[in-house]
Structure formats: structure tokens, C-alpha cells
Amino acid sequence: MFDNLQLLFVWAPIINVQVILDGIFVGAVFALCAYGLALVWGVMNIKNLAQGDFVILGGYLALVLHSWNLPLPVILVIVTIVMFVYGWSIYALIIRRIVDKDMFVSLLATFGLSLLMQQAMNLYFGPEVQTIDMKLPVIDAFDNMVTIPYSKIISLALAGIITAAVVIFMKKSRTGQAIRATAQDARAARVLGIDTDRVYAFTFAFNSALCGAAGVLVSVIWVIQPFYGITYSVRTFAIVTAAGLGNLPGVISAAFGIGLFEKYTGMIVGTAYEVAAPVMILLLVLIIRQINMKRNRQVVR
Amino acid sequence: MMRRSTFITYAGLGLFGILGPILFPAYTLSIAYLWMMVLMASTWDILGGQMGYNSLGNITFFGVGMYVSAIIQIAIFYEPGVREYTSAMGAIKPEFTDQQYYWGIFLGIFGGAIAALALSLIFSTFMFGLRGPYFAIGSLGLAIAAAEITVTINYVGGASGISMPMFPGDIEFRSVFFYILCFILAVLAHLVIRGMLSTQFGLAINAIRDDEDKAEAMGLPTLIYKQIGWGVTAVFMGAIGAVAGNMAGFIDKEVAYPVPTFGIFMVAMVLLGGKGTLWGPVLGAIIFHIVKETTWTYLLGWQWVTLGLILIINIVYFQQGIMGWLQSKYPEMFGIVVDQSNINQEKKES
Amino acid sequence: MNDIIKVTNVSKAYGGVKANVDISFKVKKGSITGLIGPNGCGKTTLFNSIVGYHPIDEGSIEFDGNEISHLRVGDIARLGMLRTFQQTKIYTKMNCVDNMQISVSHRRNSKNGIFASRKGEIRERAEDLLEFVGLYSKRNLISGDLSFGQQKLLEFAMALMNEPKVLLLDEPTAGINPTLINGLIDRLGRANEELGITLCVIEHNMRVIMNLASHIYCLSNGKMLAEGKPSELQNDQRVIDAYLGGH
């Protein structure tokens, strides 16, 4: 454990560059799905525990499309569209009936959905760890101490483009405004003639599309496996809990923060804690928030 | 005074509990698992149903009880210690005498329960400031974290697990022995919960469920009630975990922290039977177990998908569960008084 | 030691909105004190500060000679100061008797154990108090099925069950059928006289508060505007202006 600490800060501080870059790469992906969760949570009060499984499903779709030799941007567009439709149908089948129910219902229903998706993917794609090899060159810098694959740079750029598109969409478009209005006060929005059911359906489908896009990037820069979904769910919950709802800059910075934290713990204490790390972060965030609330004579709710 | 229907229910379940393994010896272990599930559902309902704190992490206590019991059983009677025992896995297994084995398992159950209780008290210091979804997600996080941390501890065999001491008797006696343990623990849990709910404690946790802010404003020391509720849950989950570990014969992360199976089964069973009722969890567990045992083998790999579907359909279309549905349909059967005049009057007013 | 509640120079702001500015306020032991003021003048904020729903920015709040401004709701309630809510809060899925029984005092010296039996003395007292507020015939109903006025009465009875030293009532007559109001005033007076509970009442109904209270404070725009006996305030031009929208 301390060997790695020395490596980071004494022998080869340049490795920090690698860790930070990796943290930024994964942070960008986390930001996408965390923003999606913040959206469904804020707009329709659904805590989607299947968030991570949407990501993994997007990844598998990308894998299939890649095997047909399609280029990455095309894959991204197709997966986004398919996941949008998927999200819409999940909304129509399940979420519509639990929108106005108490919170545990949404949590448990989406947990059931998560189990179902995991197992279905496991049956269909098999339990092996898979990845998309883009066969792109890798940049070596600082005497081969730092390696930056092109695929990661491309996916970072794509994540940036998607985020920018989402921001513009939410600010400028009519649908985006309807979503924000519904988030603030669903009843008032309904009175003013906004079809909230459609807004909900769109929001959920939109979230699903965002997760799908994140999944494509994950399958390119990382690995996917049917049961990895839960770690993404846990991470997105940690990010949203730390940043609060409806706070895009907060979500993005928290996402990068968690990406960095995770990469550093992975470096220092070893990969055995890869799954434990995001969970620990979540618990830590919850505890810190509790202490803050206690100071205000309040609780976390 | 006990009502007649209650008496018949107890007599029927008691008879089934005693005669079950005698009449259907081939299913002894299966019925043992049934009692285990009854226990899990009943204890989950203390917090989830009666108090409104939906925990997805009760399975943590199960796993901790299992591991602590294993450590106790091995450490007391095996000189070189637990680390040697696990690293020597696959080599000769030490022979425990009958006496050593039985002492070990009883101390193990006891120790597992105590360890789980201690853990629940530690958790309660930082978990009960969380409400609603945060508590549910946080407790799920605890279960996942516990499982992942266990894997990194080499003392208990890390990811490769521990194989438990061999049962000294023959295989049929083994089934009956574990059956009796499960049955006794389930009955004990039910009676303890029943007793607790009939006192002021039962009212207090119902009050916390209905409106915790009001309960606080009335000066109810809510934390103590939550700690007791979770503590009782933990004691029984720890004890049954110790039994389950010995029943399985081999323990590792998957056996000790089955978050996607037992961790979710217990919630599903309570929802199926009706949460917040004494008999709902028992009924739900029995139905769930029977359905699972009869259909599981025909589904060949699709059983988990089916489970997810059952969970979703249960939650989306049948939230109140069987007992909840009966209560709203025939309230007088449950001693709930409905004032028709009052309801009619309200209808006129509105 | 005659003042059971002593609020000194308390200020509280929400973001930029100053809800309470430099408020001082006293409640005499055994009295009925009124708190009036136009909507949004900070009465409920003051109540919330006193019983511990949020931290205050400045000042001090003493209860029975002890500083309580750092304590939380539960601790303050266990010292013997309770409040009722403008939007009635009861345990809606339990029946009335159960609502009453769980409202027993949880102060340190009380004998009400965690695993105490539900029968016996507690139950008798619960039924007596339901009789006192006129809900005895409804005692076995699920409290959520009661009408709003009945729920208010139940909440009041629950507060009495707790045997508080001080009871803060937030608009006890709002939403109550006018024919029930006289009964409620009578019950409040009797609770004060017979059970010795100090009352502090926020009220908009002037007839009610003028009959009930012995001393009245009037808030306006987060500041203490006037105080005095009911007869003094009735003729105070500032109070009349505040109510008629002089601002």
C-alpha cells in the first residue's frame, strides 16, 4: 500500500498525471449518467436504481453495432435513439404507474428492473468481461510513464459535446423548458396546460438515452459486464447526493471529483477495492451531509 | 385471551413445523429454508413495515453472523487458528469431536447474534439521520461494502471462502438438526416480534412510520426505538446467518451476502404478504417459497428474470399485499372500526 | 423565575428574507399568552425557533431558566415544551386511542417505559382526555378518517396527554367549524386552569384571542410591534394599522 504512495509522491510524481487524466476520463462518463439521474429524480421523483444497468445495456448495444463495423459516431447516435425508445417503453410499462407512489416503491421497482436487466444481459451476452477495441493509436508521454489512448480523448470530446447539447437543449427548447417547469411545480405546470405525463415519459426516455451514450463510452474506454451496473448506480447516487438536484455544474464537478477519488484509491490501496470504493464514497457523502444537516437541526431527507 | 382464528393458525403452523420433516423427510432442508425465510421476512418487517424505514441492507447482519460464527467455531477448537485453517483448505480437514462441534455451533450462533447486534448499533450512529430513499440506498451500500471488505480479509480466506467444520452425524440427522435450529429461531423471532408489537413499542414505531416529525415534536426518543428495532432484526439475522453458514457447509461472499437473492427475497415476501402486519410476512414467505420451489427448476436460467418480473408486478400492481388487501376489504375482521356516517358526511362536504 | 419562556433579541433570516428581527418575548408561568400579527409577519418562524426546528442567527431563548436555542426538537419536547401545528399533524394510520397512548410524556423522570403495557392506566387516561375534548365516541376510528376539525381536537388532546409545562398552539381555531370554536376556547381555558399548562397561542380570530389571553404580543414584518393587555391592544392604532395593511 505504502509502496504505491511512495511511487506517487516520491519516485515518480509524473504518474499523478496519468491518474488525474484517467480520473477526468471516467468522470466525464459519470457526469452523463448522474445528470440523467438528477433529472428523473428532480422532475418525477423517481430514484432509478437501474441507472447503471441502462449504462451497461448501452455498452452491449454498442458492442453489437461495433461487430457490424460501424464507426463510433454512428454507433453513438443509434444507441442513443434505441435507448430513448427503450426508456420510453419502460416508462409506459412500469414507471407511469409508480410516479405518484411513495419513494420506496420507485426504488424497489427499479431494483427489480435492475435485476431483470442484469440477468437478461447475462443470459444473452454471457458473463464475460468485454470491451470494444477501436484499434486506435496510443500516445506515450513523459518517457512512457503516461499513456493516453486516442479512444479516451475521443470519448472525452464526445462526452463534452453531449453535455453541451444537453445544456443548450434544456435552456432553449420548448420541451426543455416544460421539463424545468414540471420539476419546479408539477401541479402548476399541469394547470398551465403542460402535458406532464408526456414530460415524464420524455424525461425518463432522455435519461435512458444519456445512460446509453455513457455506456457506449464505457465500452470503448473501459470494460463492461452484465453485473457491473450496480457500481454505476451507486456512483450516480453518490454524485447526485453530493451535488443536489438540478445543479448541473455541481453534478459535473462532483462527477470529476469522484472519478479522481476512485482512481487515486485504486492506485494507492489496490484494485481489490474497486467495487468497495464507490460504495464507500456514497456512505461518506451521506455521513457528511448528515453532519451538516444536524448542525442546522435537520435530517437528510 | 387469544382469538380462535389466531389459535387455529398457531396450531396449524406448529403441527406443520413438527410433522413436516416426519411426513416429508425428503423436503426437510427445503422446509428449513422456509422457516429461515419466514424469519427474514418477519424481522425485515419491523423496520420496513412497522417503522417505515426500508432497509435493503439487513443481509449484512446475516453475513456477519455467518462469518463470526465460522471464526468462533474454528478458533476455539483448532489450535493453529483460523488463518491456518483457511489457507490449509483442500488439505486434511481437522476432525472435530461431537462435543466440540455442538459447542462450537451453539457458541457460534450466540456470537454471531452478538456481533450483528454490535454492528447494528455502530450503523445506527450514522444511518438513522437518513430518511426515506437515503436510508434505503445507504443500507444497500452497507451490504455491498460489507461483502467487498470481507473479500479482502485474508484471515477469513479472502475470496476463496471457508469450508465449515464437518457435521459429525449422518446426513439425515444433519437435516433434522438444522431444521430444528431454523424452526426454533423462526418461532422465537415471531414471538419476540409479536410481544414487542403488543406493547407501547409497537405504537411508537408505528408513530415513527406515520409521521416522524410529529413523533419527535412530541418528545418521543425516536433514536432508541430505531436502535431497538434494528437491533432485534440484527440479532435474529446474525443467528440465522450462523445456522445458514453451517447448513451450506461452505461460506464465501456469495453465500454470506446474497444481496440479489435473500436480500431482495425478504422484501418481496413482505410486500407480497402485506407490510406492517404481523402475519403478512409469514404468509408472504410461505407463498413465495412454495412458488419458488415448485417453479424454479422448470425455468432453467430464466428464474432470475422471472424474479425481477415478479418483484416489478408485485410492486406496480399489488402494493398493499395480501393482508393489506384483506384489511381494506374486510376491516371488521381485523378489529378496525370504520365510521360510515363520518365518511358519508365528508363526501357531502366535499 | 416567573417567566417560563424568555426570548431575548432573537433574529432569524432565510437567505435574504428577515423573518424575525431582534424579537424579545416573555411568557409567564401559568398564563395564556397570545401572539398576533398579519399573515407572513414571522409568528410561525418564532414558534419554530423556540421549539428548535431551525437554528437562530442571534439572541437567546430560555426555557425554565435554561438556554435551549442550541437544542433539537426532541430534546426540547422532553423538557416539557410542546407545539401543535398549523397543518394538523397526527398519526393518520392509527386509531385515536393509539394516537393518544403513544403521546405520553417521555421526560426523563416519567415512568412510561419502552415496553410498557398498552392496557391499564395509560389507556384510561387516553380515554378520559378523548372524553374531555369530545372525541370519546370516535376513539376506535382510524384518525386519518376524522374530519379536519376533529383531527385538530385530537392533536390538542394528544398534546395534553403529554402533560407539558408549556403548550404552543399554532392557530388552534383555523379551519374549525364556528360552532365548535366556543367549545374549544372553553377546553383551552380549562386545560390552563385545571391542568396548570401554560399556553402560548398564535391566533387570527380576534374574538378568540381577546377572550382567552391575558397578555398579547403583536408582530409585524418580523418585528415586535406592540404588547399589552387585550384591552390595550384593541385600541392601539399601530396594531389596527398593521391589520388593515398600513404597510
Distance between CA atoms of C165 and A267, rounded to whole angstroms?
A: 60
Position B307 pLDDT exceeds 80: no
**Cβ of residue A295 closer than 8 Å to a chain B Cβ:** no
**For residues B265-270, average pLDDT:** 88
Percentage of chain B beyond pLDDT 90 is 36
Long-range contacts of A100-107 (CB under 8 A, 24+ apart): A101/B319, A103/A45, A103/A47, A103/B132, A103/B133, A103/B136, A104/B54, A104/B132, A104/B133, A104/B136, A105/B315, A105/B319, A106/A45, A106/A46, A106/A47, A106/A48, A107/A47, A107/A49, A107/B54, A107/B56, A107/B133, A107/B136, A107/B137
Position B27 pLDDT exceeds 90: no
For residue B301, list chain A residues with Cβ-Cβ distance below 8 A. Answer: 123
Closest Cα to residue A260, out of A268, A214, A33? Answer: A268
Whether A296 sits inside 8 A of C72 (CB atoms) is: no
Position B92 pLDDT exceeds 60: no
The pLDDT of residue A299: 65
**Cβ of residue B129 closer than 8 Å to a chain A Cβ:** yes
Position A259 pLDDT exceeds 60: yes
Percentage of chain A beyond pLDDT 90 is 18
pTM across the whole model: 0.88
Position A244 pLDDT exceeds 80: no
Distance of CA B220 to the CA centre of its chain: 27
Of B217, B219, B336, the CB nearest to C105: B219
How do residues A190-237 score in pLDDT, each as one tens digit?
Answer: 888 888 889 999 999 999 999 999 999 999 888 888 888 888 888 898
Backbone angles phi, psi at B199, to 5 degrees: -100, -175
Of B202, B214, B225, the CB nearest to C91: B214
Residue to mutate among B266, B311, B314, with most A CBs inside 10 A, is B311
**Cβ of residue B334 closer than 8 Å to a chain C Cβ:** no
Position A298 pLDDT exceeds 70: no
Do both C5 and C75 map to the same domain?
Answer: yes
Shortest CA gap A25–chain C (Å): 37
B129 in any annotated domain: yes
Do both C74 and C96 map to the same domain?
Answer: no
Backbone angles phi, psi at C10, to 5 degrees: -85, 135
Position C247 pLDDT exceeds 50: no
β-sheet bridge partners, residue C62? C6, C67
β-sheet bridge partners, residue C61? C7
**For residues B333-338, average pLDDT:** 69
Closest Cα to residue B34, out of B231, B236, B244? Answer: B244
B11 in any annotated domain: no
Q: What is the CA radius of gyration of chain B?
A: 21
For residue C138, list chain B residues with Cβ-Cβ distance below 8 A. Answer: 339, 342
**Cβ of residue C125 closer than 8 Å to a chain B Cβ:** no
B199 in any annotated domain: yes
Lowest average pLDDT, out of A96-110, B23-37, B270-284, C89-103, goes to A96-110
C234 in any annotated domain: yes
β-sheet bridge partners, residue C32? C199
DSSP A1: -
The pLDDT of residue A3: 65
The DSSP bridge pattern shows strands C17-28 and C3-14 to be: antiparallel
Residue type, B185: L
Shortest CA gap C105–chain A (Å): 22
How do residues C135-156 score in pLDDT, each as one tens digit?
Answer: 888 888 888 888 888 888 899 9
**Cβ of residue C101 closer than 8 Å to a chain B Cβ:** yes
Do both C96 and C152 map to the same domain?
Answer: yes
Residue of chain A whose Cα is closest to the Cα of C75? A297
Q: Give the E-state strand segments of A76-143 in sequence order.
A: 138-141
Scanning B211-339, the segments in alpha helix (DSSP H) are 212-217, 222-248, 253-256, 262-273, 280-299, 303-317, 321-329
pLDDT band at A64 (very low <50, low <70, confident <90, very high): very high
Whether B203 sits inside 8 A of C82 (CB atoms) is: no
Do both C37 and C107 map to the same domain?
Answer: no
**How many domains does chain B fold into?**
1
Query: What is the grid cell recorded at B194?
Result: 409479536
Position C220 pLDDT exceeds 90: no
Do both C61 and C137 map to the same domain?
Answer: no
The pLDDT of residue A209: 94
C190 in any annotated domain: no
Whether B220 sits inside 8 A of C106 (CB atoms) is: yes
B327 in any annotated domain: no
β-sheet bridge partners, residue C18? C13
The DSSP bridge pattern shows strands C215-220 and C32-36 to be: parallel
Neighbouring chains of A at 3+ CB pairs within 8 Å? B, C
Position B148 pLDDT exceeds 90: no
Do both C76 and C8 map to the same domain?
Answer: yes
**For residues B236-263, average pLDDT:** 90
**Cβ of residue B344 closer than 8 Å to a chain C Cβ:** no
pLDDT band at B67 (very low <50, low <70, confident <90, very high): very high
Q: Enumerate the domain spans of chain A.
A: 2-293
Position B36 pLDDT exceeds 90: yes
Do both C169 and C238 map to the same domain?
Answer: yes
Q: What is the crossing angle of helices A150-172 and A15-44, to 10°?
A: 30
DSSP B320: T
Shortest CA gap C9–chain A (Å): 20
B274 in any annotated domain: yes
Which residues, at least 6 apart from A79, have a Cβ–Cβ distance to it below 8 Å?
A: A58, A61, A62, A65, A212, A213, A215, A216
Q: What is the DSSP string of A208-233?
A: HHHHHHHHHHHHHHS-B-GGGHHHHH
Position B84 pLDDT exceeds 80: no
Which H or E element spans position A267?
helix A248-269
Do both C121 and C155 map to the same domain?
Answer: yes
C192 in any annotated domain: no
Which H or E element spans position C79?
helix C73-79
Q: A181, A193 in Cβ contact below 8 A?
A: no
Position A157 pLDDT exceeds 60: yes
Of B129, B145, B264, the CB nearest to A293: B129
Whether C54 sits inside 8 A of A296 (CB atoms) is: yes
β-sheet bridge partners, residue A138? A149
pLDDT band at A92 (very low <50, low <70, confident <90, very high): very high
The pLDDT of residue B331: 77
Percentage of chain B beyond pLDDT 70 is 92
Which H or E element spans position C167?
strand C166-170
Percentage of chain C beyond pLDDT 90 is 9
pLDDT band at B344 (very low <50, low <70, confident <90, very high): very low
Whether C91 sits inside 8 A of B343 (CB atoms) is: no
Shortest CA gap A294–chain C (Å): 9
Lowest average pLDDT, out of A266-270, B244-248, C19-23, C159-163, goes to A266-270
Of B210, B219, B224, the CB nearest to C162: B219
Architecture of domain A2-293: Orthogonal Bundle (1.10)
Lowest average pLDDT, out of A12-26, A126-140, B336-350, C72-86, goes to B336-350
Lowest average pLDDT, out of A74-78, A136-140, C72-76, goes to A136-140
Residue with cell 432485534: B232
β-sheet bridge partners, residue A239? none
**Cβ of residue B206 closer than 8 Å to a chain C Cβ:** yes
Residue of chain B whose Cα is closest to the Cα of A120? B305
Which H or E element spans position C198?
strand C198-202
For residue B200, list chain C residues with Cβ-Cβ distance below 8 A. Answer: 101-102, 104, 112-118, 122
B277 in any annotated domain: yes
Position B237 pLDDT exceeds 90: yes
Position C245 pLDDT exceeds 70: no
Percentage of chain C beyond pLDDT 70 is 96
**Cβ of residue C54 closer than 8 Å to a chain B Cβ:** no
pLDDT band at A111 (very low <50, low <70, confident <90, very high): confident
For residue C73, list chain A residues with Cβ-Cβ distance below 8 A. Answer: 297
Domain extent, residue C210, equals: 1-80+165-180+199-247
For residue C53, list chain A residues with Cβ-Cβ distance below 8 A. Answer: 297
Do both C120 and C132 map to the same domain?
Answer: yes
How do residues B205-226 score in pLDDT, each as one tens digit?
Answer: 999 999 998 998 888 888 999 9
**How many domains does chain C fold into?**
2
Position B241 pLDDT exceeds 90: yes
The pLDDT of residue B47: 92
B155 in any annotated domain: yes
Q: B60, B253 in Cβ contact below 8 A?
A: no
**For residues B261-268, average pLDDT:** 86
CATH code, C244? 3.40.50.300
Neighbouring chains of C at 3+ CB pairs within 8 Å? A, B
pLDDT band at B347 (very low <50, low <70, confident <90, very high): very low
Do both C170 and C158 map to the same domain?
Answer: no
Position C80 pLDDT exceeds 70: yes
**Cβ of residue B254 closer than 8 Å to a chain C Cβ:** no
| Window B:298-337, CB contacts with A under 8 Å | 301-302, 304-305, 307-312, 315-317, 319
Q: C11, C22 in Cβ contact below 8 A?
A: yes
For residue C165, list chain B residues with Cβ-Cβ distance below 8 A. Answer: none
Do both C99 and C158 map to the same domain?
Answer: yes
The better pLDDT of the pair B81, A170 is held by A170
Residue with cell 490501496: A269
Residue with cell 437478461: A120
Q: What is the crossing angle of helices B4-23 and B28-45, to 10°?
A: 150
Residue of chain B whose Cα is closest to the Cα of C117? B199
Backbone angles phi, psi at C55, to 5 degrees: -70, 150
Residue type, C218: C
Long-range contacts of B334-342 (CB under 8 A, 24+ apart): B336/C95, B336/C142, B337/C95, B337/C140, B337/C141, B337/C142, B338/C141, B338/C142, B338/C145, B339/C138, B339/C141, B339/C145, B342/C138, B342/C141, B342/C145, B342/C146, B342/C147
**For residues B101-128, average pLDDT:** 93
Distance of CA B82 to the CA centre of its chain: 27
Position B346 pLDDT exceeds 50: no
**Cβ of residue A297 closer than 8 Å to a chain C Cβ:** yes
Q: What is the CA radius of gyration of chain A?
A: 20
Whether B308 sits inside 8 A of A119 (CB atoms) is: yes
Shortest CA gap B13–chain A (Å): 30
Do both C148 and C129 map to the same domain?
Answer: yes
Distances in Å between the Cα of B166 and the Cα atoms of B70, B73, B92, B248, B285 are: 12, 11, 12, 11, 30
**Cβ of residue B228 closer than 8 Å to a chain C Cβ:** yes
